[in-house]
Structure formats: structure tokens, C-alpha cells
Amino acid sequence: MISMKAILLMIFVFTFSLSLEADEARPTGKHTLTEVDGILREYVDRGVLTKEEEKTVIELAKKRGIEKVSEIRTYYLLPSSLRGISVYGDEQVNGREVLSLMLRVNRKGWTRAGRSPEKTDIQLGDFWAGEASPRKTTILMVGKEEYRISSPHGLTAEQCDSMLKKLQDGKFTLAPTAQKKWLAGIDWKKPTSFSKFGDNISASFSAKGRESGWYTLNISLNGEKLLISEIMLAMP
């Protein structure tokens, strides 16, 4: 029989992978947000692209199947020196589900030392990329507010709505063994994922006041009562 510790570890690892998939949505360091020509740009310090570089990135995205670029983001994985670029295509919304293409673009000098394009990559100048991948997210709704998370595993969007509202309203009980001091660092307005394996539920939120790191909560439900049994912190 699998122990409770093993189950919690599996949930944390699963959440960790989802959070890594979403790391481009949480750029590290100071950043600027602008929208020009219908393209949203979010660049971190030491990760700003010039207009000519943007043209190269957009051309590369088109060669990888993204006909219309809607967003360009850069990220910086502190404390390493690794930086990267994420490019998003137009979104297709079907009810609560949102589907778009996402392309990770590498740049010379931003990747780990010695890394070079693969044979199947397309390269334009100092930039290169592999295949674009589908990115599926789910819209959560609390009142009139909408939130985007990685598509939940084992839960409906409505179930996630209900739990998110309880968490935001503070309508939960904290287990004596949970790290109460970490509650103050959770940004309840920035959920990133919800998942359920068996009776074990986890929810992840970005860390408050900074653009890297996230908290994962282990949750149990007893009717309408929500219990947080454990809080885990991940800082990439």
C-alpha cells in the first residue's frame, strides 16, 4: 500500500511539473508590460528584445506554425543565468477551455554554456526553436473575476471555482502541522493549478510580492469544509 507521504510527494512532483510549464507566465526579476500592434510584450530585466529582434522571433514563430503572434514573453530563471523567450499564438476559447500554440525560443548567450541548436531546430541568426506545442489552460471564475490555470487533473472547473473562493475568502481550517507563517506569502489572486489524485487535492499559487516561486497546498474536503493539511514552498 502506498503511504500518505508517498502520495503527497507524487502530488508535489506533479504540481512542480505543471508550475514549470507555467514558468513563462511568471517571469523573474523586474519586468515591463506593453502592447503594440496587437502583440502583448512582457520582458524581464536583462531580457528585453529590440524591435529587430522581435521581428526575428515573430518570423521564427511563423516558420513553426504560429501564424498570428499574440504574446511575447521573456523569463529569467534566477539564481541561474538561464533566460528564454516564450511566444504565444491566438487563443481558441471553448467554454472554460483555452487552447493556443506556444513556442519556446532559445537565444545565443541566454542558454546554458555549450548548448546549440538541434538538427531538427530552425535557426534565424542568434535565435532557434524546436516545434511549437499546444498549451491548454482553464478559466476559473470567482464572482466577476477570471483566472487562468493549467487544466485541472481530476477536478471540474466548477469544483476549482468553489475551492478558490473559499481560499480567497479565508473560509478554511489550517491543520496544526501546517506552516501557518507561509500563509502570508501566498498570492490568492494568482492560482496556477488544481489537481486531485484519489482523495488528495492540491492547489498551487504564486508567491506574493515576487515573480518566482510558488506555494502548493494539500487540501481535503469534508462536505463544504476545507482543510489545509500541508503547505509546501518551491523556489526555482
Sketch out the chain's domains with CATH numbers: 4-23+138-234 (3.10.450), 24-136 (no CATH)
pLDDT tens, 180-222? 999 999 999 999 999 999 889 999 998 886 555 789 999 999 8
**Angle of CA points 203, 17, 15, to nearest 5°:** 15
For the chain, give the secondary structure using H, E and C.
Answer: CCCHHHHHHHHHHHHHHHHHHCHHHCCCCCEEEEEECCEEEEEECCCCCCHHHHHHHHHHHHHCCCCCEEEEEEEECCCCCCEEEEEEECCEEECCEEEEEEEEEEECCCCCCCCCCCCCCEEECCEEECCCEEEEEEEEEECCEEEEEECCECCCHHHHHHHHHHHHHCCCEECCCCCHHHHHHEEEEEEEEEEEECCEEEEEEEECCCCCCEEEEEEEEECCEEEEEEEEEECC
Does 20 score more than 50 pLDDT? no
- Whether the pLDDT of residue 1 is over 70: the answer is no
pLDDT band, very low/low/confident/very high, at 106 (cuts 50, 70, 90): very high
How high is the pLDDT of residue 220?
A: 93
Read off the pTM: 0.72
DSSP 16: H
The helix (H) or strand (E) run that includes residue 7 is helix 4-21
pLDDT at 236: 55
Q: Whole-angstrom Cα distance, residue 61 to residue 56?
A: 9
